[in-house]
Amino acid sequence: MATTADIRNGAVILHKSKRMKIVEFQHVKPGKGGAFVRTKLKDIQSGKIIDETFNAGHKLQFIKVEAKEMQFLYNDNDAFVFMDKETFDQLNVEPQYVGSGKDFLTPGMNVDLLFDDLEVLDVRLPTHVILQVSETEPGFKGNTATGASKPAKLETGYLLNVPLFINEGDKLRIDTRTGEYVERSKD
**Banded model confidence at residue 153, pLDDT cuts 50, 70, 90:** very high
Of all residues in the chain, what percent carry a pLDDT higher than 90?
21
Mean pLDDT score, 61-85? 88
Mean pLDDT score, 76-80? 86
Mean pLDDT score, 110-118? 82
Q: Is the dihedral of CA 111, 45, 180, 160 positive or negative?
A: positive
Predicted confidence at residue 32, as pLDDT, reads 86
Mean pLDDT score, 159-187? 87
Domains delineated in the chain: 2-62 (2.30.30.30), 66-124 (2.40.50.140), 128-184 (2.40.50.140)
Mean pLDDT score, 114-121? 76
Segments of 44-109 assigned E as strands: 49-55, 59-62, 66-75, 80-84, 90-93
Residue 176 identity (one-letter amino acid): T
Predicted confidence at residue 72, as pLDDT, reads 93
